[in-house]
A and B are shown apart, each in its own frame.
Chain A
Amino acid sequence: MAPTTSRAKSNKNKSSSTSIRQLEQAATRLNSSSASTTAVTTTIYKTSTAAPVSNIIRAPKLNLPVYSYAIWLEENQLKRMAPWIAVAIAALVRWIVGLGPYSGMAIPPRYGDYEAQRHWMELTIHRPIREWYSDGSKWWDLDYPPLTAYVSWICGFIGNKINAEWFAWETSRGFESRDAKLYMRATVLVLEMLVYMSAIVAFTNRWFANKPWTRQHTALMLILLQPGLILIDSGHFQYNAVMLGLVVWALNCFLVDQDVLGSISFCLALAFKQMGLYFAPAVFAYLLGKSLRQGFFGCIWKLTKLGLTVILTLVLMFSPWLQSQEKILQVLHRIFPVFRGLYQDKVANIWCAVNVVIKLREMFDIQELVRISTLATLLSFLPSVLHLIARPTKRGLIYGLINSSLSFFLLSFQVHEKSILIPALPITLLILDEPAVASLFITLATFSMFPLLKHEGLFLQYAVLLGFWVWLTRATAHNTSKFLQLLILLNLLVITTMHTAEFMLEPSARYPDIFPVLNSLWSAAGFVLFWIYFNYRQFTLVNTPKMGFRVTKTAKLA
């Protein structure tokens, strides 16, 4: 949104009274001219129903289909029902995607993520709680933190009441039926609606509180239709949305300065999925930076409060396994399995890309690799974290979340291709603040998961959702610099070429993995560029909100 920003800058330099007069003139001009145009293209907003003319301001028009829809909703007095409709649409899309295959469907002996989740439900309802992490049945060990286990227990408990066959001890290993699939899909959707979608509704309410309602709703629709999360959670089968939803709830609390509640929510996210740690440096830095600004005693008090909150939440979560050191170590060993290797399959991070040329795994042993990757990750998120400690703004926090999670994705040990969903979350939240960049990132992130989705037979869903996303966010390109537009086009071109090539050509015997490797190389290169860009953005953030429509700010002066 470069033009808007530059206009806003020039506005700021003038005295406020001139800019208000200009605004009034613009508003009157607009008022008269739009009378002749059709309803849908109108962009006049009233800050309140009884506002005088001077308060009628023009927010920059977004050339987005969803935006036109939001205007239509507003004109038809549907604002109060709109979030419900949005959630209904999001649920509909997810359910339809869920009709497709899931991870490891009908692939014995080990099946896939679906079987893992189903087995955990079986495990938790049939074993005593202390044995959850030490059960040695060698069948999809529980390797997620306790909150996942508790949620599994609830899902298993209800499912067991409906049909005991789905989660029967040992005999249900690899059990598949249409009804069981239906139940599992329903648990994903219900949890996502309860945790994630509610969090997004609250977030857009808060984040766009001073902006026109249409923007808020546009953001809500776009965030809910982000293809990556839909494909992985409702297609591939996982519960990422629960962890991400808890992170967004934490963010919502931080936005209204409820830091204790936010920490609790964030700890719950960590206790649901350890990958939430990708965000931890940024959250820590933000809270530390904020505490440091409260004077000596204020700082001590706030840090104690937050520290106690974190410890209490985690202790509560892990309490069943705390009675002996051996037990808790067993749990931690399960959750952080360093023995699995530097990365899984082909993942679009730096290690996998470097590995094409230098065979790292042959040069170093696993302990060294852990140390190297940890150090690299640390160095990579350090600048962002230090900046956040020095300037703990709310906007900075979101950029911090992006930078720290991207660092983890690119450089940490044992990364899944699905983990790109973690940096994708804060970037998606900035969909209207960084429209072109966010759209491009999501496109690339979804593309980077293509080998996995193709393997699972989700090609149709992938193609439709990604194509739809590109179309939904395409119009943002109008407000973008030529360079970014070019990048977006280039990316689309490369993606289409690769898909066409993969569809038309057989990979040669010498390079059977050529297409996944090319995919991960292209994606990794892109993600590195994004890491640079978002670091740059964080460091150049002005302390005041930089939302692209300063006009609102000037109007406030009046």
Chain B
Amino acid sequence: MQTSLLAISIALKVLLFPTYHSTDFEVHRNWLAITHSLPISQWYYEKTSEWTLDYPPFFAWFEKLLSMFAAQADPKIVQVDNLSYDTPATILFQRTTVIISELVLFWALQRMLAVMGNHPLQKIISWSLMLNPGLLMVDNMHFQYNGFLYGIMVHSLVDAKQGKLLRSGILFAALLNFKHIYLYIAPSYFAFLLRAYCFENSGNSIRARSWISAFKPLNFFALGFSVIVVFAASLGPFIAMDQLPQLASRLFPFKRGLCHSYWAANVWALYSFTDRVLITLASKTPLGHYLDLSVDSSALAAMTRGLVGDTAFGVLPTVTTQQTFILTALLQLPGLISVFRKPTFERFIGSVALSAFASFLVGWHVHEKAILLCTVTMSIAIANLVGAAPQSGSGAGSFSDNKTGRLLTPRDVRSFMIVSLAGYIGLWPLFFTREETPIKVLVTLIWFITIGAGLDQCIPKSLLPSNEAGAFSISTRSLLRHYTILERLYIYGWVPLQVYVNLIHELIFGQESMAFLPLMVTSVYAAVGVVYGWLLYSATYFASNKVKAQEKKK
């Protein structure tokens, strides 16, 4: 048990109670009210509040469970027409439920330590996840229950690592019925469970002719049946009431547009940015005339308004829902194939991360918060690697040998840290109130330095050039010693950029005009980091697969 981690995380999260909470707070209060006061048949029809229930049924049941306590604490919380009710007692109650539900994540991390090894590398990951700036910002300030949901995901991944594949699959099916965002990684689960659980799994690829003999029908039916039971438990009542189309329309609102209210740090942010640049070039300079750019005037109006949900492009072609789906599938495919060919846990966790990336980068209407899906799965992927003994040498030789697996490389650390940094700073615009600015900056900074240095020290010395392997004290410069010059520039570039966004912009333009500019530069700069980190991560993933295959051949 990591009591220190638990105590520190609870103390910090309780202290964060008075911070700004977004409309998501009212969203969840409303759901408490809906699930408590209305019959099930009304859950997905109720629309007194604009924040209708748009999570799958298990989450609704979870809210119903919480609402029983809420009704005890203050009956006014669970009144459907009591909109925007946020008395101190309500905040105290709802914030407390978040902290308690996040114990699921803590439990999952303890299991992770037990299964993947209780070594410095894994411990650092557990601290990094429990005191994660992304989760702190989204759950404990903005207000959501992601810690709880990621807890279930980590449980499922740990089960997969342990070889308890059926349980892993059931947990994941349940998770999908808590929050459908986990559909992003469902293809990897599907490929992995199908191949590893429903076929003979000797660790080698199966030849074309032996597929049929390798099939394990009993496992296939067990898995299929369990998943169907989970979905039936969740959706059954609504199918019986013939409410499935209504439920689907609530869960998948495709009318919402390509980008969320401000751009998530993905490919579409870069795409929209390019479009804006081209519009400006076309309308303000003679360049547009030479290049023969035609500008859609409605997009021009959208641009001056700032960022709107329904993104219209002025120069570049408009992107449709279908196109994003095809793109996502294409980007996910290589990882899926690799896991299907050789279903090891290492490949599986890597492909889960790649699936999350693909959906985040080119998906339709992606929330900026979805970056957590990438960083959390990447964390587990790193925890699955083998790290070095700490410098003091006290544990030298005791665990580097007894654990087989790929060693942690500087590349893993670099891609993880760059994606995390970019993703978490990409969350900063969620908090536009000045009170929260020092909090989000300090939380991210402290996380980056401590976790970055900790992971840095976990890189086995054998993987480093001999002149770097020696002991020395880390300073701000040497903290980034494994990073290339461009990566360092990118990381340092955040400093002037955020100084501009948080301080200088308002001095120049005031609070109202050009409000889209800080959001846009943050999103675009973060998108560059995420895309780069994704490329680096993909390269590491496929390169390590290839190296292993070659080693086998020899």
Q: Is A324's beta carbon under 8 Å from chain B?
A: no
A36 to B396 Cα, complex, angstroms: 9
Counting chain B CB atoms within 10 Å of each CB, which of A49, A89, A92, A93 scores highest? A92
Given contacts A35-B396, A36-B398, A85-B449, contact A80 B473 (CB under 8 A): yes
A70-108 vs B, CB cutoff 8 Å, 1 = contact: the mask equals: 001011111111000100110111011101100000000
- Pick from B394, B439, B453: contact of A76, CB under 8 Å: B453
Q: Shortest CB–CB separation between residue B491 and chain A, in angstroms? A: 15
Within 8 A of A (CB), among B470-501: 471-476, 479
Stretch at the interface among A37-45, A241-249, A292-300, A340-348: A37-45
A96 touches B16 (CB 8 A): yes
Q: Is A139's beta carbon under 8 Å from chain B?
A: no
A176-205 vs B, CB cutoff 8 Å, 1 = contact: the mask equals: 001100100000000000000000000000
Q: Is B19's beta carbon under 8 Å from chain A?
A: yes
Q: Is B125's beta carbon under 8 Å from chain A?
A: no
- Pick from B14, B19, B456: contact of A464, CB under 8 Å: B14
- Pick from B92, B390, B438, B454: contact of A95, CB under 8 Å: B438
Q: Is B15's beta carbon under 8 Å from chain A?
A: yes
Q: Is B532's beta carbon under 8 Å from chain A?
A: no
A75 touches B439 (CB 8 A): no
A77 touches B15 (CB 8 A): no
- Pick from A75, A91, A178: contact of B392, CB under 8 Å: A75
- Pick from A95, A182, A461, A464: contact of B442, CB under 8 Å: A95
Note all chain B residues with C-beta closer than 8 A to A178: 434-435
Note all chain A residues with C-beta closer than 8 A to B439: 92, 95-96
B365-397 vs A, CB cutoff 8 Å, 1 = contact: the mask equals: 000000000000000000000000111101111
A62 to B18 Cα, complex, angstroms: 34
A81 touches B476 (CB 8 A): yes
Q: Shortest CB–CB separation between residue A536 and chain B, in angstroms? A: 34
Note all chain A residues with C-beta closer than 8 A to B435: 99, 178, 182
Note all chain B residues with C-beta closer than 8 A to A89: 446
Q: Shortest CB–CB separation between residue A155 and chain B, in angstroms? A: 17
Given contacts A81-B479, A179-B434, contact A467 B11 (CB under 8 A): yes
Within 8 A of A (CB), among B96-123: 118, 120
A95 to B443 Cα, complex, angstroms: 12
Count how many chain A residues have C-beta atoms less than 8 Å from C-beta atoms of the other chain.
42
Note all chain A residues with C-beta closer than 8 A to B8: 65
Looking across the interface, which residue of chain B has its beta carbon closest to that of A97? B15
Given contacts A179-B434, A460-B18, A471-B7, contact A39 B471 (CB under 8 A): no
B438 touches A81 (CB 8 A): no
Looking across the interface, which residue of chain B has its beta carbon closest to that of A72? B454
Given contacts A75-B392, A92-B438, A460-B14, contact A38 B474 (CB under 8 A): no
A282-310 vs B, CB cutoff 8 Å, 1 = contact: the mask equals: 00000000000000000000000000000
Q: Shortest CB–CB separation between residue B536 and chain A, in angstroms? A: 23
Q: Is A364's beta carbon under 8 Å from chain B?
A: no
Q: Is A336's beta carbon under 8 Å from chain B?
A: no
Given contacts A77-B472, A88-B446, A182-B434, contact A34 B18 (CB under 8 A): no
Q: Is B51's beta carbon under 8 Å from chain A?
A: no
Q: Is B450's beta carbon under 8 Å from chain A?
A: yes
Q: Shortest CB–CB separation between residue A206 and chain B, in angstroms? A: 20
Given contacts A91-B442, A97-B15, A178-B435, contact A75 B390 (CB under 8 A): yes
Looking across the interface, which residue of chain A has its beta carbon closest to that of B127? A72
Note all chain B residues with C-beta closer than 8 A to A439: none
A44 touches B392 (CB 8 A): yes
B392 touches A42 (CB 8 A): yes
Q: Is A414's beta carbon under 8 Å from chain B?
A: no
Note all chain A residues with C-beta closer than 8 A to B7: 65, 468, 471
B438 touches A38 (CB 8 A): no
A464 touches B445 (CB 8 A): no
A107 to B210 Cα, complex, angstroms: 81
A310-354 vs B, CB cutoff 8 Å, 1 = contact: the mask equals: 000000000000000000000000000000000000000000000
- Pick from A76, A79, A464: contact of B15, CB under 8 Å: A464
Note all chain A residues with C-beta closer than 8 A to B11: 464, 467-468, 471
Q: Shortest CB–CB separation between residue B116 and chain A, in angstroms? A: 15
Q: Shortest CB–CB separation between residue B543 and chain A, in angstroms? A: 27
Q: Is A68's beta carbon under 8 Å from chain B?
A: yes
Looking across the interface, which residue of chain A has its beta carbon closest to that of B118? A38
A35 touches B434 (CB 8 A): no
B518-547 vs A, CB cutoff 8 Å, 1 = contact: the mask equals: 000000000000000000000000000000
- Pick from A35, A91, A461, A464: contact of B394, CB under 8 Å: A35
Note all chain B residues with C-beta closer than 8 A to A182: 434-435
Q: Shortest CB–CB separation between residue A300 and chain B, in angstroms? A: 48
A471 to B8 Cα, complex, angstroms: 10
A77 to B435 Cα, complex, angstroms: 33
A456-483 vs B, CB cutoff 8 Å, 1 = contact: the mask equals: 0000110011011001000000000000
Given contacts A79-B473, A92-B446, contact A99 B19 (CB under 8 A): yes
Note all chain A residues with C-beta closer than 8 A to B390: 39, 75-76
A81 touches B394 (CB 8 A): no
B473 touches A99 (CB 8 A): no
B457 touches A75 (CB 8 A): yes
A91 to B438 Cα, complex, angstroms: 9
Note all chain A residues with C-beta closer than 8 A to B450: 78, 85
A77 touches B471 (CB 8 A): yes
A80 touches B474 (CB 8 A): yes
Q: Shortest CB–CB separation between residue B432 and chain A, in angstroms? A: 13
Given contacts A76-B453, A77-B474, A79-B473, contact A96 B395 (CB under 8 A): no
B395 touches A81 (CB 8 A): no
B7-38 vs A, CB cutoff 8 Å, 1 = contact: the mask equals: 11001101111110000000000000000000
Note all chain B residues with C-beta closer than 8 A to A467: 11
Q: Shortest CB–CB separation between residue A90 and chain B, in angstroms? A: 10
Looking across the interface, which residue of chain B has its beta carbon closest to that of A69? B4
A6 to B479 Cα, complex, angstroms: 43
A36 to B395 Cα, complex, angstroms: 6
A65 touches B395 (CB 8 A): no
Looking across the interface, which residue of chain B has its beta carbon closest to that of A71? B392
Q: Shortest CB–CB separation between residue A178 and chain B, in angstroms? A: 7
- Pick from B389, B456, B475: contact of A80, CB under 8 Å: B475
Note all chain B residues with C-beta closer than 8 A to A95: 438-439, 442
A99 touches B392 (CB 8 A): no
Q: Shortest CB–CB separation between residue B107 and chain A, in angstroms? A: 20
Note all chain A residues with C-beta closer than 8 A to B17: 460
A232 to B280 Cα, complex, angstroms: 53
A85 to B476 Cα, complex, angstroms: 12
Counting chain B CB atoms within 10 Å of each CB, which of A37, A78, A461 scores highest? A78
A39 to B438 Cα, complex, angstroms: 34
B15 touches A81 (CB 8 A): no
A38 to B454 Cα, complex, angstroms: 16
A49 touches B395 (CB 8 A): no
Given contacts A96-B15, A461-B15, A464-B15, contact A39 B395 (CB under 8 A): yes
Q: Shortest CB–CB separation between residue B67 and chain A, in angstroms? A: 24
Counting chain B CB atoms within 10 Å of each CB, which of A39, A80, A95 scores highest? A39
Q: Shortest CB–CB separation between residue A487 and chain B, in angstroms? A: 23
B19 touches A96 (CB 8 A): yes
- Pick from A35, A68, A78, A471: contact of B474, CB under 8 Å: A78
Q: Shortest CB–CB separation between residue B256 and chain A, in angstroms? A: 32
Note all chain A residues with C-beta closer than 8 A to B449: 78, 81, 85
Looking across the interface, which residue of chain B has its beta carbon closest to that of A185? B435
Note all chain B residues with C-beta closer than 8 A to A72: 454
The 5 closest A-B pairs by CB, nearest first: A42-B394, A65-B4, A92-B442, A75-B390, A76-B457
List 16 A–B pairs whose Cβ atoms lie within 8 Å, in order of A's numbering.
A36-B398, A37-B394, A38-B118, A78-B453, A78-B474, A80-B474, A81-B453, A85-B450, A88-B442, A89-B446, A97-B15, A179-B434, A460-B14, A460-B92, A465-B15, A468-B11
Given A37-B395, A76-B456, A81-B475, 8 further pairs, Cβ under 8 A: A34-B394, A76-B453, A85-B450, A100-B18, A178-B434, A182-B434, A182-B435, A461-B15
